[in-house]
């Protein structure tokens, strides 16, 4: 198969890329014409290493796109390229914080549904302050916020509710009330960005608790059912609303 002449990565930042596109990095423009295969190494990058983010894969001559979406670039720390793509189906990734629903208790291990292809397992000892005598009070159907310690395509994913130092840091069983709903993964990433406007504007309406899982699940709790429903509907609609429409909707609500 003839090698495709790729395009410069910098030229495509902010544009739509399709799977199979080859992106060339600055160090490889000249060499590629001769057909030499170079490997990315720390020496060729300006400072630090170039990070190859989701949707991209290293191939001999540059970066190969594996998901369709918009190409993004961050120059800080050696540079990072990734693809922003629209996706609703979650694939477990190590280190991700997700919301899981307990589906079964099998001996010492809970089985959780996280929206992936397999249920994740969570040991009862993986909670803060849990011992063999002091078991956490988890029932089937409860919500748990935890992170993945094992998540690859060959094994069943495993979750824990403590971080590496043994503290829970916000993870654990999510309270009884409140409401759980699902949105696309892109919206979750947008909400998790620092200083997200949507969350700031919502917090001006009334106080509420919010847990965002990277698997697309959001748990909301406000004081009354009506307030919770309003927040749920706004977050679900943020997917397709522009900022202007959102501000109008919130202005109408706060006027009430």
Partner 1 sequence: MKATPLSNCERRFLLRAIQEKKRLDGRQCYDYRNIRVSFGADRGCCMVELGRTRVLAQVSCELVPPKPSRPTEGVLFFNLELSPMAAPGLEPGRQSELLVSLNRLLERCLRDSKCIETESLCVVAGEKVWQIRLDMHLLNHDGNITDAASIAGIVALCHFRRPDVSVQGEEVTVYSPEERDPVPLSIHHMPICVSFAFFHQGTYLLVDPTEREERVMDGLLVIAMNKHHEICTIQSSGVVMLLPDQILRCSKITAVKVAEITELIQKALENDQKARKEGGKFGFAESIPNQRITAFKMESAAVDTNDVEEQAGEIIAKADPPSEVFASPVLHTPGTAQIGEGIESSWGDLEESEKEEAVEEEGESEAAAFECEKVETEDTSTLRETKSDEPIVLSDSEEEEVVILEPQELPRKTRTQTSSQQENPSKKAFNKR
> Which one, of 156, 139, 140, lies nearest residue 148 by Cα?
156
Nearest approach in angstroms of CB 194 to partner 1 is 13
Q: Alpha helices, DSSP H only, in the chain?
A: 29-34, 185-192, 197-203, 225-237, 243-255
> Which one, of 105, 100, 220, 224, lies nearest residue 172 by Cα?
100
Asked whether position 199 contacts partner 1 by CB under 8 A, the answer is no
| Contact set for partner 1, span 30-89 (CB under 8 A) | 69-70, 84, 86
Asked whether position 103 contacts partner 1 by CB under 8 A, the answer is yes
Nearest approach in angstroms of CB 59 to partner 1 is 25
Asked whether position 215 contacts partner 1 by CB under 8 A, the answer is no
Helix (H) or strand (E) holding 144: strand 143-150
Total number of residues that touch partner 1 (CB under 8 A): 37
Among 225, 248, 251, 254, binds partner 1 (CB under 8 A): 225
Asked whether position 115 contacts partner 1 by CB under 8 A, the answer is yes
Three-state SS for 234? helix
Three-state SS for 245? helix
Among 121, 184, 196, 250, binds partner 1 (CB under 8 A): 184
Nearest approach in angstroms of CB 83 to partner 1 is 10
The token pair at 22 is 């080859």
| Contact set for partner 1, span 122-181 (CB under 8 A) | 139, 141-143, 174-180
Nearest approach in angstroms of CB 136 to partner 1 is 15
The residue (of 159 and 187) whose beta carbon lies closer to partner 1 is 187
Nearest approach in angstroms of CB 214 to partner 1 is 14
Residues found in the chain: 256
Phi and psi based region of residue 191 (left: phi greater than 0; alpha: psi -120 to 50; beta: remaining) = alpha
Separation of alpha carbons 65 and 84, rounded Å: 11
> Which one, of 193, 203, 189, 211, lies nearest residue 234 by Cα?
203
Asked whether position 254 contacts partner 1 by CB under 8 A, the answer is no
Among 20, 243, 248, 254, binds partner 1 (CB under 8 A): 243
Among 3, 42, 229, 251, binds partner 1 (CB under 8 A): 229
Separation of alpha carbons 19 and 104, rounded Å: 38
For helices 243-255 and 225-237, the axis angle rounded to 10 degrees is 160
Q: What residues line the site for partner 1 (CB under 8 A)? A: 69-70, 84, 86, 101, 103, 113, 115, 117, 139, 141-143, 174-180, 184, 186-187, 190, 219, 225-226, 228-229, 232-233, 238-243
């Amino acid at each position: 198969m003839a090698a495709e002449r790729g395009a410069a990565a910098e030229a495509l930042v902010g544009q739509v890329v399709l799977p199979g596109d080859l992106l060339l990095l600055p160090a490889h423009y000249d060499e590629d014409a001769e057909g030499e295969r170079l490997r990315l190494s720390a020496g060729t990058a300006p400072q630090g290493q170039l990070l190859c983010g989701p949707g991209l894969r290293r191939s001999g001559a540059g970066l190969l796109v594996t998901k369709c979406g918009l190409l993004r670039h961050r120059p800080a720390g050696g540079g990072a390229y990734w693809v922003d793509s629209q996706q609703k189906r979650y694939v477990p990734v190590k280190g991700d914080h997700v919301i899981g629903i307990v589906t079964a208790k099998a001996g010492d291990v809970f089985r959780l549904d996280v929206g992936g292809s397999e249920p994740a397992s969570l040991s009862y000892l993986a909670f803060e302050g849990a011992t063999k005598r002091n078991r956490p009070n988890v029932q089937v159907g409860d919500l748990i916020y935890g992170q993945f310690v094992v998540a690859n395509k060959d094994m069943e994913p495993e979750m824990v509710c403590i971080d590496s130092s043994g503290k829970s840091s916000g993870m654990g069983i999510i309270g009884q009330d409140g409401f759980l709903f699902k949105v696309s993964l892109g919206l979750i990433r947008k909400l998790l960005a620092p200083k997200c406007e949507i969350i700031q504007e919502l917090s001006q309406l009334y106080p509420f608790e919010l847990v965002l899982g990277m698997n697309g699940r959001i748990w909301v709790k406000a004081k009354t059912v009506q307030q919770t429903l309003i927040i749920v509907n706004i977050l679900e609609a943020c997917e397709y609303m522009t900022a202007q429409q959102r501000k109008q909707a919130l202005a109408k609500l706060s006027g009430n």
